[in-house]
Each structure stands twice: as structure tokens, then as C-alpha cells.
């Protein structure tokens, strides 16, 4: 019985991670974040890169825009987007964006390990 409980917890945690990641992607797309920040949240000048930023920082900024306490150059653009997000959506989106940057770095590291970039003889 104990093994079954542990296995069930592991399976649920695996699926929970995928659900939060896909939920974050849905929120990012649904609210049009990609229009300014890019499909992979890498930023489109003059709009900043969001992928890989800390979830804490992203939550704080989105809450600030939502409450109207941030008065930066992009505040007027961001305020309606942030106000359309629930607190739970802000949490999911912030976690997704932080993870998105980590995932990209992991893929880049794997590429360099597998293909040894810069070690070609030119043929």
C-alpha cells in the first residue's frame, strides 16, 4: 500500500508540472503577451525578455501593473493586460516564464554537449 501511495504521488506530481506549464502557455497566448514579448518570451525591442526572469520578480511586476503602482514607460500598455489576470493566473504565468528560460538554457547546453560547436575542421 505504501508503494502504491508513493507511486501515485509521483505520477500526480509529474502530470501537475505539465498542467501548470501548459496552463502558463495558454495564459501567455490567450492574453496576447507574445505580441510584444515574442512567441518564446525572448522580447521584441523595446519590450523586454521575460523568459528566465525570476517568478518572484514577474509576480511583483504584474501585481504592480495590476494595482497601478508602477509608473514606468510601459505601464499604460501593461495595466489592462495585468488587470485582466487573476492572482492565480499571475502565479501560473510567472512560474511558466521562469521555467521557459531554464528549459531553453538546458536545450542549448545539450546542443553544445552533443555537437561540440567550434570543433569543426570546416568540412
Mean pLDDT, 10 residues at a time, over the chain (123 residues)? 44 51 94 95 94 96 97 94 97 95 62 59 52
Q: Are 55 and 93 in contact (CB under 8 A)?
A: no
Cβ contacts of residue 58 below 8 Å, gap of 6+?
50, 93, 94, 97, 98
pLDDT at 10: 41
Verdict on whether the full-model pTM lies above 0.75: no
Residue spans of the domains in the chain: they are: 21-114
Superfamily of domain 21-114: Cytochrome c-like domain (1.10.760.10)
pLDDT at 12: 44
pLDDT at 81: 97
Using CA atoms of 62, 64, 68, 72 in order, give the dihedral in degrees to the nearest 10: -90
pLDDT at 21: 81
pLDDT at 75: 95
Amino acid at each position: 500500500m505504501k508503494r502504491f501511495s508513493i507511486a501515485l504521488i509521483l505520477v500526480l506530481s509529474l502530470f501537475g508540472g505539465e498542467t501548470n506549464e501548459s496552463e502558463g502557455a495558454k495564459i501567455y497566448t490567450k492574453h496576447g503577451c507574445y505580441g510584444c514579448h515574442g512567441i518564446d518570451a525572448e522580447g521584441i525591442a523595446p519590450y523586454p525578455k521575460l523568459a528566465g526572469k525570476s517568478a518572484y520578480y514577474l509576480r511583483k511586476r504584474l501585481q504592480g501593473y495590476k494595482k497601478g503602482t508602477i509608473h514606468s514607460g510601459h505601464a499604460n500598455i501593461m495595466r489592462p493586460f495585468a488587470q485582466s489576470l487573476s492572482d492565480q493566473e499571475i502565479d501560473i504565468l510567472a512560474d511558466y516564464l521562469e521555467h521557459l528560460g531554464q528549459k531553453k538554457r538546458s536545450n542549448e547546453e545539450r546542443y553544445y554537449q552533443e555537437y561540440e560547436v567550434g570543433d569543426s575542421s570546416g568540412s
